[in-house]
Amino acid sequence: FPVTIYEAISSGLRVIASDIPAVRQIIKDERFLFSNDQESLFKTINYANSNVSAHSDYMDTLKTIITTEYSLRFMHQKYIDLW
């Protein structure tokens, strides 16, 4: 559960991240994921910086999802429903 990514996105930061299964649960758009090599990281940074509007729009969409589906109230209700 990549809490740091949730926190960064919910704080309004633009995020790129390593392409690992836990991160893919949040960031599904491959344009903002990089594999485990410098060239991939470089390409992802360049893409995000060259397409600020698209990146910001996607982050805003993720922020909306995170702040509703992972809010304290929502998570509290999920735990109550579970037990």
Rounded to whole angstroms, how far apart are CA atoms 17 and 11?
16
Task: Please give the average per-residue pLDDT across 6-23, as a whole number.
Answer: 94
Rounded to 5, what percent of the chain is helix, strand, coil?
70, 5, 25
Q: Residue 62, CB half-sphere, CA atoms under 13 Å: how many?
A: 26
Average pLDDT over residues 49-75: 91
* Residues 8-37, mean pLDDT to the nearest whole number: 94
Residue 1 has pLDDT above 80, yes or no: no
Mapping DSSP to helix (H, G, I), strand (E, B) and coil, where does residue 17 land? strand
CA distances from 75 to 4, 27, 28, 63 (A): 17, 20, 22, 16
Share of the chain above pLDDT 70, in %: 99
